[in-house]
Amino acid sequence: MHKEAGQRPGKAAEQEAIYFSFLAEVGITKHMGALESTKQLIELCGIEQGQAVLDVGCGVGITACYLTKRYGCRVVGIDITERMIDRCNERARREGVEDAVEFRVADAQDLPLEDGRFDVVISESVNVFLADRRRAMREYVRVARTSGRIGLNEMTLLRSPPPAQLLPYMYQVAGFEGEIPTVEDWEDLLRSAGLREIVAYARALNVREEARSRLERFGFREMVSAVGRVLVLALKDPASKAFIRQTLGGAKLLSRDVLEYLGYGIYVGTK
C-alpha cells in the first residue's frame, strides 16, 4: 500500500492515509446510512434534475454517478486521494456517464473551483477527517450559488462522553483516532459558516438495515469483487493484512455499546 492524503499532523495523518489508500485499492468507500442516507441528503438538499452538484471527498464515485444517472445532474467530484479518482473515472466509464461527471484530485480545504458555481455541495463522511473543518465549510459556501444548499452526512457522537474502554473500538469503526463531533458541534460549524435554515438530525446505526442498504448501494457483483480484492491484498501485502486484522477484527466493533455512542447525522444549510 502506498501512503497519501495526510490530513492531521503525525500518526493520525498516517493512519488516515493508510485507511483511504486501502479503501481505494479495495474499490469501495462508504458512509454510515449507505444509500438510504444518500437519498435523505438528496431530498433535504432539494436536488433537482439537471442541477450542478459538487461531491466533496467523493471516494470511488458512487454518489456522483448515482446523481448523474438518476437526476441528470452535472456533477463534479473531488477527492484528495489520487487512486480514488482513478476508481471514479473507471466507474464513470463503466456506467456510461463519463461525459456528465468530472472527477478531480483536490483538497476540500482549498477547492480549485470558481465562486458560486454549484446549486448544491454535498459531502459524505469526509469532514470528520479534516484538520480544518471551518476552512472547508467556507470553501463549500464560496463555491455554492446564493440560496444554494450545503449538505453533510457525518459521523456523530450520539452521547457524550463515551466510556474510555469503548474508545479503541469507536476509533476502529470510525477509521481515525480523534474527537468525534456531536450534533451541536456540526450545527455550530454550519452556522458559523453563515448558513441559514439549518436542518440537523442524528441517527443510530441499524446494523441489519445498513447491510441491506450497502448491498443496494454497491450491488452484489461489486461487493463480491471487493471481498476478492481484500483477500488478495491480505495475501500479498503484509501492511494490508495487518490493517485488515486491526480494522475488521474484534467482536465488539459493532456491539450495541459502541452503536449507542457512535452514529451519523445529516446536516443541511442554505447559503
34 binds ligand SAM (CB under 6 A): no
Quote the cell numbers at residue 63: 454518489
Among 8, 32, 45, 59, binds ligand SAM (CB under 6 A): 59
Query: Binding segment for ligand SAM among 118-126, 143-151, 196-204, 248-256 (CB under 6 A)?
Result: 118-126
Q: Which of 8, 15, 18, 20 binds ligand SAM (CB under 6 A)?
A: 20
According to the binding rule CB under 6 A, does residue 125 interact with ligand SAM? yes
210 is a site residue for ligand SAM (CB under 6 A): no
213 binds ligand SAM (CB under 6 A): no
Residue 23 or 161: which CB sits closer to ligand SAM? Answer: 23
- Residue with Cβ nearer ligand SAM (130 or 196): 130
Peptide bond into 181 cis (omega under 30): no
CB 56 within 8 Å of CB 107:
no
129 binds ligand SAM (CB under 6 A): yes
**What is residue 111's DSSP assignment?**
-
The packing angle between helices 220-236 and 10-26, to 10°, is: 120
- From 74-82, 166-174, 252-260, 263-271, span contacting ligand SAM (CB under 6 A): 74-82
Query: In 3-state terms, what secondary structure has residue 14?
Result: helix
For ligand SAM, the closer of residues 37 and 51 by Cβ is: 37
For 143-212, give the DSSP string: HEEEEEEEEEEEEEESSSSPPGGGHHHHHHHHTS-SPPPBHHHHHHHHHHTT-EEEEEEEE---HHHHHH
Among 15, 68, 81, 156, binds ligand SAM (CB under 6 A): 81
* Rounded Cα gap, residues 267 and 187, in angstroms: 7
Determine the Cα–Cα distance for residues 260 and 203; give it in Å rounded to an integer: 10
- In the complex, the residues that contact ligand SAM under the rule CB under 6 A are 5, 7, 20, 29-31, 57-59, 62, 78-81, 84, 107-109, 124-126, 129-130
